[in-house]
Amino acid sequence: MNFRNLTRLKLLQIWFAVVLLIVVAAIALGVSVTMGTGALLLAMCLVPPAVLLMLWPSDAPTMAESIRDAKLR
């Protein structure tokens, strides 16, 4: 896998797939899901993607946008 071509959306999809597999495996193995376990799973699923979205740099402007901005100046 080439990490340079990895987008935010693709990384979030991978994250949610991994969390879903962990939850399914835990239920299949008979882990009792209590309120605490459910809250922990929810936090494990939602907090890292939220941090990722806040810290991941936004897309750079395209060449066409840069040229148009330069012409307007």
The pTM score is: 0.59
Task: Report which of residues 60 and 1 the model is more confident about.
Answer: 60
Q: Would you give the DSSP letter of residue 3?
A: G
Task: Report which of residues 27 and 6 the model is more confident about.
Answer: 27
Q: Where are the domains of the chain?
A: 3-72
**What one-character-per-residue DSSP string does 7-21 give?**
-HHHHHHHHHHHHHH
Predicted confidence at residue 19, as pLDDT, reads: 84
pLDDT level of residue 62 (50, 70, 90 thresholds): confident
Residue at 72: amino acid letter: L
Q: Would you give the DSSP letter of residue 30?
A: T
